[in-house]
């Protein structure tokens, strides 16, 4: 169902100021194999050389465009098939709280199997597969099947709409269930069950449609943003009552923002709108944030303050995702239900001064109590690692009072931030041992190997990063392309461009990871742009090569297109001394590195 028919970047980089090479080439500190890409659109100028080969678009979730609407509320037959299979094989989560249609379908499946030996045989094979691929984390176990369902063609084919190498990584763990699922579906006549219960699905969809539309309109009114028409990005809410209503499953694939929710039985059709709104805020805010991703690199010193926070790896190593989440947290706190009854405004017939003064006093008391509740929420978010929540809370409050839109205010929030002040404030926070629940479920990661090397680079431990990378290279079964990618950037930081070129070339010769390949081309392009003398033709060739690699993440496209448009120029740090061509060259680079270090906290 299309609604509001009238109406990604993500994953940018962290600047790590450790000298000229770092500033010039690690202007985008890009960890290898970063996940969850978000795409965006941008146009090239007439002066921009066109890539030799067209860039292959990222695969899209297999859902209809719904007449071109950017925001849709849908049901999905492939997701229904997957959910029925899980229910048949012991998935009973939240059954008592589910909509009645879930029990009806389970009972009809059991009746089909009772009368068919073939159905029981196919069920046993299906359930054996599901049992053998069960993950310890129940949320992640369900997520892998939902990821697969989103990329399937409609029955009876039920085949992936993208190459296996382009499917979500977790879905590839269970992709071989499909032949078993097709056999089971035929044996129990799932297509007939889908048709029989389609009216109940549509009734649930209709129940969700009104409140969801109101949530979207209210959010856009608060942010003073227009409800977007279709621009290549989509916000999809998929309803599947065969899943547990207590859990909302959300993910962002390329330019598709997807929420999978299960309506409850009491009240019938209830879903977790807070979780849906969180993803919708990502959908609305991320283009505004990533449009200023380059400017946000000046905020990268804040990453050092969250290394001990209970955050995921992404938020500790990449500044733009951290900023985005902090901004969303601040908006959610501003608009949260504070659990207090708001005084009713006197009607137009009430003119007594005493009544109006009493209302003003009651409102003042309400606002004071509400602000106390919000301040507690801010403190909790800060202690969970969202260190810019307080800053953005103040900025959003100013936006409310001034009547400007978030789009208009975004520049002021980014460019007006006193980074040293916020860094010093973040350094005083005593982080909690556990963080907040994230509706975007991802596997928890114990940093080891090359991920740990990435963090060591961020902290300035180049020796430690090199040691880890060299150990990986010494292992015949190690990730050699990833190790060369680490060593190439370490060499840049240590002012060894020749060695860096060799390592980047090793990456290009051996890696199959699109992100690592694309950024190796970008780094090489930047090297050619700044080498004495610059080799602009080679630089352009590298930027074009980066665009032909199938990395859908927006920082890749933005960096490559920027390189095609103009030669890369090193940004000057605020405390960098003026150039002095007559100064003696320091081969160690110590003086230059010291010049780029941020001032001590005050």
DSSP, collapsed to helix, strand or coil, labels residue 9 as strand
Residues 6+ apart with CB under 8 A from 539: 524, 525, 526, 528, 529, 563, 567, 568
CA end-to-end span of the chain: 55
* 63 pLDDT tier (thresholds 50, 70, 90): low
* 275 pLDDT tier (thresholds 50, 70, 90): very high
Q: Looking at residue 160, what DSSP letter applies?
A: B
Parallel/antiparallel/unpaired status of strands 234-239 and 249-253 = unpaired
In angstroms, the CA 21 to CA 259 distance is 42
Average pLDDT estimate for 75-94? 97
The sheet that has 234-239: what strands, in order across it? 71-74, 234-239, 256-261, 249-253
In angstroms, the CA 259 to CA 326 distance is 21
Torsion of CA 308, 25, 571, 48, to 10 degrees: -130
For the ranges 42-56, 160-174, 489-503, 550-564, the maximum mean pLDDT occurs at 489-503
- For residue 180, the model assigns a pLDDT of 97
Burial call 86-120: b when 16+ CB within 10 Å, e when fewer: bbbbebebbeeebbebbeebbebbeebbeeeeebe
In angstroms, the CA 547 to CA 551 distance is 8
Write out pLDDT tens, residues 404-436: 999 999 988 988 999 999 999 999 999 999 988
Please say if the pLDDT value at position 447 is more than 60.
Answer: no
* 126 pLDDT tier (thresholds 50, 70, 90): very high
Q: Which stretch of DSSP H or E encloses residue 256? A: strand 256-261
Domain regions of the chain by residue span: 15-40+313-602, 66-261
Top pLDDT among 441 and 341 is at 341
- For residue 570, the model assigns a pLDDT of 64
In angstroms, the CA 190 to CA 181 distance is 10
Average pLDDT estimate for 74-86? 97
Please say if the pLDDT value at position 13 is more than 70.
Answer: no
């Amino acid at each position: 169902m299309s609604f509001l028919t009238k109406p990604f970047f993500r994953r940018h980089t962290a600047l790590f100021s450790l000298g000229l090479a770092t500033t010039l080439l690690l202007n985008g500190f890009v960890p290898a194999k970063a996940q969850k890409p978000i795409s965006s659109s941008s146009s090239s100028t007439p002066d921009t050389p066109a890539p030799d080969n067209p860039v292959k678009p990222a695969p899209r979730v297999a859902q209809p465009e719904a007449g071109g609407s950017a925001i849709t509320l849908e049901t999905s037959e492939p997701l229904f098939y997957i959910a029925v299979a899980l229910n048949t094989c012991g998935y009973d989560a939240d059954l008592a709280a589910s909509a009645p249609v879930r029990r009806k379908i389970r009972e009809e499946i059991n009746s089909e199997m009772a009368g068919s030996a073939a159905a029981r045989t196919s069920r046993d094979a299906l359930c054996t597969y599901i049992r053998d691929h069960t993950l310890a984390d129940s949320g992640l176990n369900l997520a892998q099947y939902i990821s697969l369902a989103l990329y399937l063609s409609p029955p009876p084919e039920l085949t992936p709409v993208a190459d296996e190498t382009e499917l979500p990584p977790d879905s590839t763990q269970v992709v071989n269930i499909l032949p078993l699922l097709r056999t089971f579906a035929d044996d129990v006549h799932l297509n007939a069950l889908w048709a029989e219960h389609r009216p109940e699905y549509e009734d649930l969809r209709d129940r969700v449609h009104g409140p969801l539309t109101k949530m979207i309109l209210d959010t856009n009114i608060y942010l003073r943003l227009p409800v977007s028409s279709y621009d290549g990005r989509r916000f999809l809410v998929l309803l599947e009552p065969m899943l547990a209503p207590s859990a909302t499953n959300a993910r962002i694939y390329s330019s598709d923002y997807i929420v999978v929710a299960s309506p409850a039985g009491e009240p019938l059709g209830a879903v977790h709108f807070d979780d849906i709104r969180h993803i919708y805020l990502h959908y609305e805010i991320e283009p505004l944030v990533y449009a200023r991703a380059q400017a946000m690199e000046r905020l990268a010193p804040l990453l050092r303050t969250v290394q001990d926070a209970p955050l995921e790896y992404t938020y500790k190593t990449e500044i733009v995702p951290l900023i985005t989440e902090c901004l969303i947290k601040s908006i959610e706190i501003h608009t949260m239900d504070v659990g207090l009854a708001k005084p009713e405004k006197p009607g137009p017939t009430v003119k007594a001064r005493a009544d109006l003064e009493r209302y003003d006093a009651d409102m003042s008391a309400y606002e004071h109590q509400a602000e106390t509740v919000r301040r507690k929420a801010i403190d909790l978010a800060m202690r969970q690692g969202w260190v810019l929540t307080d800053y953005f809370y103040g900025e959003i409050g100013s936006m409310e009072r001034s009547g400007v839109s978030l789009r208009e205010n975004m520049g002021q929030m980014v460019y007006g931030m006193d980074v040293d002040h916020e860094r010093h404030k973040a350094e005083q926070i005593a982080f909690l041992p556990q963080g907040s629940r994230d509706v975007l479920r991802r596997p928890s990661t114990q940093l080891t190997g090359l991920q740990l090397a990435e963090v060591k680079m961020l902290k300035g431990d180049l020796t430690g990063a090199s040691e880890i990378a060299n150990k990986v290279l010494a292992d015949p079964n190690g990730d050699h392309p990833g190790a060369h990618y680490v060593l190439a950037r370490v060499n840049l930081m240590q002012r060894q461009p020749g060695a860096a070129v060799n390592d980047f070339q090793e990456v290009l010769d051996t890696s199959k990871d699109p992100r690592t390949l694309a950024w190796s081309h970008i780094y090489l392009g930047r090297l050619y742009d700044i080498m004495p003398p610059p080799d602009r033709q080679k630089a352009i060739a590298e930027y074009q090569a980066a665009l032909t690699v199938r990395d859908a993440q927006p920082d890749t496209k933005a960096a490559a297109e920027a390189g095609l448009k103009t030669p890369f120029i090193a940004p000057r740090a605020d405390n960098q001394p003026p150039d002095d061509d007559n100064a003696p060259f320091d081969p160690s680079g110590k003086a230059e590195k010291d010049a780029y270090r941020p001032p001590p906290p005050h």
